[in-house]
Amino acid sequence: MSRKFYITTPIYYVNARPHIGHAYTTIACDAIARRQRMLGAETYFLTGTDEHGQKIERAAQAAGKTPQQLTDEVSAQFRALWDRMGLAYDDYIRTTSDRHKYGVQALWRRIRDNGYIYKGHYTGQYCVFDELYVDAVGPGAPCPECSRPTETVQEENYFFKLSAFEDKLLRLYSEQPDFIRPETRRNEVTSFVRSGLRDLSVSRSTFSWGIPVPDDPKHVIYVWLDALSNYITALGYGSSDTKLYDKFWPADVQMIGKEIVRFHCVYWPAFLMAAGVPLPKGIMAHGWLLFEENKMSKSRGNIVRAETILDVLGADALRYFLLREIVFGQDGSFSFDALVQRYNADLANGLGNLASRTLAMITRYFHGEVPYPSHTAAHTPADDAIAETARRAIAEYNALFDQYQFSRALELAWGLVAAVDKYIVENEPWSLGDKQDEESRARLATVLYTSAEALRIVTALAHPVIPEATAKIWAQMGLGDIKKFSLSDLKWGQLHLGTKLGTVEAVFPRADKSTIERMQKMEEQQRSAPATAEAKPVAPTPVASVPPPTSAASLPDGKISIEDFAKVELRVGQVKVAEKVKGADKLLRLEVDLGTEVRQVVAGIAEAYAPETLIGRKVVIVVNLAPRKLRGLESNGMIVAASAEGGKPVLCGFLEDVPVGTRLK
Ligand code: MSP
């Protein structure tokens, strides 16, 4: 029986379109899954979307859609992007699917029947952004996780007896140290659990966008219990067909970002223990992808879309950059400069150049057939040194990859690329090629065989990370379909004499400064596009084909077109926090809830409004205004007011009640 391997990504919220932060996790899992397949394991790779909960319900409301419309659209966007990137997932789970609903309800019943769910009353604070019950006191108190204002929830709820699992969880972390990786996260989780666990509210009755609690449909199941279950419902848990579940559960690794460690390392194993379901073998939490020094996220508005990089440099460039540049487990920065620098150094001038020059010389000097290395006088210690470097690379690359040390693994493999480059320069095959004597021919054969064999080894090792380019190089080397190659068999000396090369073509064309500018421009255009574009399927936007915006100048009397107006995104917000700005008589600092996020806005209204009169008031915000700093505070949006007599600001409002987040058109 072959070895099994099951890997999962978190399922992504559908309140925001995908960006390279989501792609980061999915790419890492894809690379691991591809390598496992190459090693002969029967592999199952799951991803999907998380579609229930108050956050999604409000995002839909703000977009003027039903929750189902929004989730259908955004879930399809994620899926289309993963397909475009060639991510080879085996299943894509949506939490609004029937198979998931039944599975979650089956899990609920098991936990309930085992005595771990009871009914009680909950009064406390809830953070809609994190979908988390928090220890905070008083209406609007800031969430300890994200500092956004929390909402007071008073409900009759179902509770999960989380407190019963304190000791069991602590035992799990100490007996299975690899359950949570890296170690820093394990330590954080351990101290969190040691400080005491309170029972967890696992149902909500104030909104309905969720899975009904079995036998009590007034309540919906807490979104995290719903979401976490995807890892087993996708395999058929709770259904009549449990073949996949029986085969693949428990998961070998569940990959997550570090901000959702508590849900995966405390709640998830506790739910499973309560249901009597085996635990996953390990949870691996990676760090954050930062852009302009902050976590890349929709609420910060600092996202980079994968589409831009795909259009300009291709999926392999993004994959290689993310796994090579960032130490997996730690935070790492993304920039277009660094991306292009890495691309040129390691892919265009590194692997790409090694492939084209080695294969071009074999074509030229040996009619496109791999020559045989000489073991006689034409053989030198430099050849052995390359073979030795390659052997070490194979052994160590595998070990590093297994420990999720992708960047060190790739560094090691590219050490072989550098060694062969140097070897080629020092052995000057082009000079040998000019000579016709037997010794020079034998030496040339050895040098080109050694180079080609090293190229083959790097190509095989790198395949899970850069699948497209390596498949091309493999085919150019006349080796057929790389997917059929068994990585466990990889060793020095397997390249056969006489292997006929295919057509040799460059795989990584060089990039330059204009490549960076092009990508930056594409991203800027996306950011300034009307917000309604957000819910549309993401289409590639080649720079040249973007029509010039209609400008006021082209219309009579300085009028603007409807497109011009649509660029201004006005939304209803609710003031949660208002305070004076020290040293500025006219300014107030506001925190305004927009339904999907809370924004800081600095407004010149202090002379007209006392801060306390504004709390809870609904206002109109220009949300897509570029942020600017006022007295050192970043203002992220503008509050709309009439400028009355003497310039006195009068805030814009509504006679009817309008939900937070609603767009003005
Ligand atoms: N829906 C929950 C997860 C439920 S899993 C049962 C959720 N969704 S999310 O859309 O916010 O996605 C979070 C995950 O996306 C992170 O844990 C991480 O895997 C990935 N990332 C999103 N932004 C990221 C960065 N800026 N950097 C790194 N990873 C990022 O939380």
The predicted-structure confidence for 63-109, as pLDDT tens digits, reads as follows 999 999 999 999 999 999 999 999 999 999 999 999 999 999 999 99
- Decide: 427 and 382 in contact? Cβ < 8 Å: yes
Q: Is the CB of 295 under 6 A from ligand 1?
A: yes
Pocket of ligand 1 contains residue 597 by CB under 6 Å = no
Helix (H, G, I), strand (E, B) or coil at 546: coil
pLDDT at res. 655:
75
What pLDDT sits at residue 594?
86
The Å distance, Cα 272 to ligand 1 centre, comes to 22
Task: Give the ranges where 528-637 is alpha helix by DSSP (H).
Answer: 562-566, 611-614
d(CA 123, CA 139): 11
- Is the distance from the beta carbon of residue 296 to the nearest atom of ligand 1 less than 6 Å? yes
CA 333 to mean position of chain CA atoms: 13
Choice from 25, 233, 267, 271 to test ligand 1 binding pocket (greatest atom count within 8 A of CB): 25
All residue ranges of the chain with pLDDT < 70 are 1, 377, 529-564, 646
Q: Cβ(22) to ligand 1 under 6 A?
A: yes
Q: Is the distance from the beta carbon of residue 11 to the nearest atom of ligand 1 less than 6 Å? A: yes
Structure tokens at 599: 């924004």
Ligand 1 centroid – CA 361 distance (Å) = 47
- For residues 67 and 94, is the Cβ–Cβ distance under 8 A? no
Ligand 1 neighbour 267 (Cβ under 6 A): no
Orientation angle between helical segments 268-275 and 98-113, nearest 10 degrees: 70
Give the model's pLDDT for residue 653. Answer: 86
User: 3-class SS at 452?
Assistant: helix
Q: Please give the distance, rounded to the nearest whole angstrom, from the Cα atom of residue 94 to the centre of ligand 1.
A: 15
pLDDT, tens digit (0-9, with 9 covering 90-100), for 540-592: 322 222 223 333 334 555 566 666 677 788 989 998 889 988 888 889 999 98
Ligand 1 centroid to 229 CA: how many Å?
16
pLDDT at 545: 27
Please tell me the distance from the alpha carbon of residue 605 to that of residue 609, in angstroms, as a whole number. Answer: 6
Q: What is the pLDDT of residue 293?
A: 83
For ligand 1, mutation pick of 24, 54, 130, 254 (most atoms within 8 Å of CB): 24
The span from the CA of 545 to the CA of 311, in Å, is: 13
DSSP β-ladder status, 42-50 and 4-8: parallel
141/136 Cα distance (integer angstroms): 6
CA distance linking residue 421 with residue 287, whole number of Å: 34
| Pick from 510, 514, 513, 539: nearest CA to 526 | 539
Cα–Cα distance between 323 and 486 in angstroms, integer? 22
Q: What type of residue is 204?
A: R
Beta bridge partners of 5: 43
Number of H helices, E strands in the chain: 23, 27
Best mutation site among 51, 256, 305 for ligand 1, i.e. most ligand atoms within 8 A of its Cβ? Answer: 256
Interacting residues of 450 by C-beta distance below 8 A, sequence separation 6+: 373, 383, 386, 387, 420, 423
How far is Cα 423 from Cα 406, in angstroms, rounded to an integer? 26
Residues 6+ apart with CB under 8 A from 12: 18, 22, 48, 49, 50, 78
SS3 572: strand
168 Cβ contact list (under 8 Å, min separation 6): 270, 273
pLDDT at 660: 83
Q: Give the model's pLDDT for residue 140.
A: 87
Distance in Å from the first CA to the final CA of the chain: 62
Cis ω on the peptide bond leading into residue 182 (within 30° of 0)? yes
Tell me, in angstroms, the distance from the centre of ligand 1 to residue 28's CA. Answer: 13
Residue closest by Cα to atom 30 of ligand 1: 21
Q: Is 302 near ligand 1, meaning CB less than 6 Å away?
A: no
Q: Cβ neighbours of residue 381 under 8 Å, at least 6 residues apart? A: none
8 Å CB contact between 440 and 432? yes
Q: Are residues 31 and 406 in contact, defined by beta-carbon separation less than 8 angstroms?
A: yes
Nearest 5°: phi and psi at 200? -115, 130
Ligand 1 and 299: CB distance under 6 A:
no
Q: Is the minimum distance from the CB of 269 to ligand 1 under 6 angstroms?
A: no
624 phi, psi to nearest 5 deg: -105, 25
**Residue located via tokens 């040996």:** 366
Nearest CA-CA partner of 457 in 402, 501, 364, 395? 395
Alpha-carbon gap, residue 462 to 287, rounded angstroms: 23
**Run of H or E including 124:** strand 117-127
The residue type at 548: P
Q: How many residues does the chain have?
A: 665
Helical pair 166-175 and 183-194, crossing angle rounded to 10 deg:
160
SS3 content of the chain, % helix, strand, coil (to 5): 45, 20, 35
Residue 399 CA: distances (Å) to CA of 116, 402, 406:
41, 5, 10
The radius of gyration of the chain's CA atoms, rounded to the nearest angstrom, is 29
Confirm or reject: Cβ of 227 under 6 Å from ligand 1.
Answer: yes
Prediction pTM value: 0.81
Rounded to the nearest 10°, the torsion over CA 578, 582, 583, 588 is -10
**pLDDT for the residue 530:** 53
Residues 533, 333, 25, 483: what is their CA dihedral angle, to the nearest 10 degrees?
A: 100
Contact 25 CB / ligand 1 (< 6 Å): yes
Place of tokens 């379901």: 277
List CB contacts of 305: < 8 A, sequence separation 6 or more: 17, 18, 19, 20, 523, 526, 538
Strands 253-257 and 283-286: parallel
Q: 268-275 and 166-175 helices cross at what angle (nearest 10)?
A: 110
- 637 and 623 Cβ atoms separated by less than 8 Å: yes
